[in-house]
Structure 1
Amino acid sequence: MDSVPLWVLVVALGICLLMSAFFSSSETGMMSLNRYKLRHQAEEGNARAKRVLQLLKRPDRLLGTILLGNNFVNIAATSISTIIGIRLLGDLGVLLSTIILTVLVLIFSEVAPKTYAALHPQQIAFPASGVLSFLVKLLYPLVVLINGVVLLILRPLGVRTISSQEDGVTNEEMKSIVLSASQSISPERQEMLIGVLELEDIYVEEAMVPRNDLEGVDLNDDWEEIFKQIMQSRYGRLPAYRDNLEHVEGMLHVRDVMDGLLDKSLNKEGLIRVLRPCVFVPEGTLLRTQLVNFKQQKARSGLVVDEYGDIQGLITLEDILGYIVGDLVHEGDEKNAPEIVHREERKYEVEGGMSLRQVNRELGLKLPLDGPNTLSGLIIETLGNFPTPGTEIELEGCRVRVIDFADGVVELAEVEVLVDLEDEL
């Protein structure tokens, strides 16, 4: 090495540092990529994304190649810097070259490239994938040998293979992904995505119109009374029954008889002829499942029944979609959907019929979802008896005061939010 010019050694040292920076940034860039975005790009036909995915299928070979190359150039850089130090300063140069090289490698070959790669993984990983693919093939026998030794070392720890194994993403993890993407997803789209994911957790009884609130047509009434009920109804679909809902005979779609109602040519017999068969939905059916069932059955509503076949309420397609896009105004009635009214700082008026899941979402609370489905039900269950207007109770993260109570139901309550959940995080 004494015959090698000093400037050649300096250039070689610089090349080693650059190669070390390449391997360090490639490792961080490859491992920091968003796998879902990468897979989408590959499906769209991006050749570099496909190449990166292929490399990541065997992370043992990829990391083995990167570490082999990185260690080789770092050791070469150490040897070259030692020779330079001895030539310039003798024995003292060994110590100084070690110190200087450590600083150069740490800053320019480790921290700086890895930091940039962590912030911009795609800009590093995509261009580097071509070189890495070539090196993986070139160094394949050596890498396989090294990985075999590593596997033997890890076998006592229960490791049988070091191939890539992608874990599935749970529903809660998907929600966290959506919530963490606040900078790239608008609040409206974020809420819709969360609503779609919540269809996996919500049962029809949480979204249905309860039996006590159902409007229907009693076919045993006089025609004048039936005509009046239909014309004054807030809904476009009404269960038709005799005496009570346990004797339901079909669903009346008002649009099917609208012409006859307007020109008053319709009678009870004509109405009975246009009744549609009822769709029955078992309690405990997930909203996601029922959405698919409605599509298969080409239906838009169904009567929810318990294990004994007793009707508990009515679930409609609009009720399900309301969990995705927010409250929908039911046909012709702007005041039908339960709502939250912001009265003053941290105080809201909430209709008792609103679902606890929706209250939690709108107010950022964590009211329990394993019991009653509505705010009214939670208040009554917590008290153990029927409240009177003015009754106050403490729930998790809020104080609730009953404003209006009638017919065994809390119709309106004031909710004061006591905890700012964002400040707790």
Structure 2
Amino acid sequence: MEDASISLLLGILCCLILCSAFFSSSETGMMSLNRYRLKHLVKKKHPGARRASKLLERPDRLIGVILIGNNFVNILASAIATIVAVRLWGDAGVVIATAGLTLVILIFAEVSPKTLAALHPEKIAFPAAYILRPLLTLIYPLVWAVNGITNGFLRLLGININDDNNHNLSTEELRTLVNEAGALLPHRNQSMLLGVLELSEVTVNDIMVPRNEVIGIDLDEEIDQIIQQLSITPHTRLPVYRGELNKVVGILHMRNLAQVFHQGTISKAAILQVITEPYFIPESTPLQTQLLHFQKQGRRMGLVVDEYGDIEGIVTLEDILEEIVGELSNDNKEDNQDIHPQEDGSYFVDGSAYIRDVNKALEWDLPTDGPKTINGLVTETLESIPDANVCMRLGRYQLETLQISDNLIKTIRVSCGPEAQEDDF
């Protein structure tokens, strides 16, 4: 008869350990759920996700019901184990039961189930929600009492239990989330999302076509030269000016040039009739803001001006979109390439190349908080325009000027090596 009672108690003890494992895994599984994936599954009306989401709306109640259940079964298991051990080994059974049950609960009711739940939270949390919700309803008065005391104690410590801002992502956190998506997000989509996130941090000054590279129509030139330029230009829109870009009079759209052809011979007066008013953009305007301005005003190109009103360059809607989706056109891409790899692992870089473009192409981290071009970076670091070719080190990058003319560094050899202890020339 005594053997039968011991067997029954051992059976109950095993069931209690399984219940303890359930509560332990449920707690870890629920708290390990990806909140954003959970919201997605709730929108798709996943039943387990909807129940889990409902429970997580009040995490204090969820933790309350889990811990009440877990502590109850653990204490009951401890009592039963002590009874069985005393019957089998007498007074020494207390020590044996304490040591043995601690080891069993630690392995089979804590570490193993919690590890499993941390690795596969959805597989544990969603089924558990079917049990936890009815159990919460059943022992709600006890959970309410425990939570009331606990929440009151937390308020005394100055903790706001209703503060639920932990799941709001900052821009940097969202950028990290996109970077860590890995194979779940195609690389091109990943790049586009990162491009959108960077629009508010990049200004039109960072992507504009600099003034010395702007192609436009100079009305002070002979009409034959103007017609020749119009016939070979690859651009859809051209600034029209007199003598210099700062004396711009308008923007010529090549589509409107068809009207001039219908009138007969192309003349400067005819060109002036079809140009539109120039659109000026402050150089510090963020790309995100400028994109909205282009959309609102129906513009496609603007002239970038500095604080003194001098024109620094031009920026187009296409330039901004390329920051998101990459190059929109491959026309003359090879002819305009600024980076030329060498057999020794270094690169010949055009001095007018933008540092941001070089960093993107080579996955480098040259400083972008100062000058925009490689030429500007070198001259600012040297604090002068070199009279002869020089070699310098900037962090882990070695830069060597190869061609200097007209107060500009035309070509630079750049190589990337191990991080230096300090910047030196």
| TM over 0.5, shorter chain | yes
Question: 1:312, CA displacement in angstroms?
Answer: 1.4
Residue 75 to residue 265, structure 1, CA distance change in 2 (3 Å): farther
Partner of 2:416: 417
Partner of 1:256: 256
Partner of 1:19: 19
1:84-119, Cα deviation, whole Å (9 max, x unpaired):
212322222222222221121111111111111111
Take 1:327 and 1:177, find their aligned partners in 2: how far apart are those partners?
Answer: 25
Residue 93 to residue 47, structure 1, CA distance change in 2 (3 Å): same
Say if 1:329 and 1:336, in contact at 8 Å, map to a contact too: no
1:263-286, Cα deviation, whole Å (9 max, x unpaired):
985443333232233322222111
Structure 2 SS opposite 1:153 = helix
Partner of 2:173: 173
Residue 173 to residue 355, structure 1, CA distance change in 2 (3 Å): farther
Output the amino acid matched with 1:393: M
Say if 1:366 and 1:396, in contact at 8 Å, map to a contact too: no
Question: 1:2, CA displacement in angstroms?
Answer: 7.5
Structure 2 SS opposite 1:90 = helix
Structure 2 SS opposite 1:344 = coil
Partner of 1:361: 360
1:146-193, Cα deviation, whole Å (9 max, x unpaired):
223223333343213255333532222222212222242333333332
Of 301-310 and 259-268, more deviation after overlay is shown by 259-268
Of 410-419 and 43-52, more deviation after overlay is shown by 43-52
Residue 142 to residue 337, structure 1, CA distance change in 2 (3 Å): farther
Of 336-345 and 109-118, more deviation after overlay is shown by 336-345
Does residue 244 of structure 1 match 2:244? yes
Question: 1:355, CA displacement in angstroms?
Answer: 2.4
Take 1:310 and 1:257, find their aligned partners in 2: how far apart are those partners?
Answer: 28
Take 1:166 and 1:239, find their aligned partners in 2: how far apart are those partners?
Answer: 50
Structure 1 SS opposite 2:239 = strand
Structure 2 SS opposite 1:372 = coil
Say if 2:389 and 2:404, in contact at 8 Å, map to a contact too: no
Take 2:416 and 2:244, find their aligned partners in 1: how far apart are those partners?
Answer: 41
Residue 337 to residue 69, structure 1, CA distance change in 2 (3 Å): farther
Question: 1:3, CA displacement in angstroms?
Answer: 11
Take 1:262 and 1:83, find their aligned partners in 2: how far apart are those partners?
Answer: 107
Residue 164 to residue 75, structure 1, CA distance change in 2 (3 Å): farther
Structure 2 SS opposite 1:202 = coil
Question: 1:350, CA displacement in angstroms?
Answer: 2.2
Partner of 1:98: 98
Take 1:183 and 1:68, find their aligned partners in 2: how far apart are those partners?
Answer: 41
Say if 2:204 and 2:304, in contact at 8 Å, map to a contact too: yes
Output the amino acid matched with 1:172: E
Alignment of 1:157-168 (within 5 A): 157-162=157-162, 164-168=164-168
Say if 1:56 and 1:164, in contact at 8 Å, map to a contact too: no
1:192-243, Cα deviation, whole Å (9 max, x unpaired):
3222221121111000011121111122332211111222334222111222
Does residue 375 of structure 1 match 2:355? no
Say if 1:329 and 1:337, in contact at 8 Å, map to a contact too: no
Partner of 1:351: 350
Structure 2 SS opposite 1:390 = coil
Take 1:47 and 1:295, find their aligned partners in 2: how far apart are those partners?
Answer: 42
1:100-146, Cα deviation, whole Å (9 max, x unpaired):
21121111111111111111111111111222222333333322322
**Structure 2: gaps (5+ residues):** 421-425
Take 1:378 and 1:414, find their aligned partners in 2: how far apart are those partners?
Answer: 13
Question: 1:336, CA displacement in angstroms?
Answer: 6.2
Structure 2 SS opposite 1:5 = helix
Alignment of 1:390-405 (within 5 A): 390-405=389-404
Take 1:345 and 1:61, find their aligned partners in 2: how far apart are those partners?
Answer: 64
Take 2:122 and 2:277, find their aligned partners in 1: how far apart are those partners?
Answer: 56
Residue 206 to residue 390, structure 1, CA distance change in 2 (3 Å): same
Q: TM-score, normalised by structure 1?
A: 0.90
Residue 226 to residue 420, structure 1, CA distance change in 2 (3 Å): same
Partner of 1:302: 302
Say if 1:371 and 1:378, in contact at 8 Å, map to a contact too: yes
Residue 407 to residue 336, structure 1, CA distance change in 2 (3 Å): farther
Output the amino acid matched with 2:132: L
Of 157-166 and 85-94, more deviation after overlay is shown by 157-166
Structure 1 SS opposite 2:184 = coil
Alignment of 1:213-252 (within 5 A): 213-252=213-252
Take 1:92 and 1:358, find their aligned partners in 2: how far apart are those partners?
Answer: 76
Output the amino acid matched with 2:124: I
1:36-56, Cα deviation, whole Å (9 max, x unpaired):
222222223333323322222
Of 202-211 and 236-245, more deviation after overlay is shown by 236-245
For the aligned residue pairs, the C-alpha RMSD in angstroms reads: 2.7
Take 2:267 and 2:197, find their aligned partners in 1: how far apart are those partners?
Answer: 46
Residue 351 to residue 190, structure 1, CA distance change in 2 (3 Å): farther
Number of matched pairs: 420
Question: 1:370, CA displacement in angstroms?
Answer: 2.0
Partner of 1:62: 62
Say if 1:58 and 1:164, in contact at 8 Å, map to a contact too: no
Output the amino acid matched with 2:225: E
Residue 361 to residue 402, structure 1, CA distance change in 2 (3 Å): same
Identity among equivalent positions (%) equals 42
Of 336-345 and 78-87, more deviation after overlay is shown by 336-345
Output the amino acid matched with 2:30: M
Take 1:164 and 1:58, find their aligned partners in 2: how far apart are those partners?
Answer: 10
Say if 1:59 and 1:163, in contact at 8 Å, map to a contact too: no
Take 1:262 and 1:396, find their aligned partners in 2: how far apart are those partners?
Answer: 60
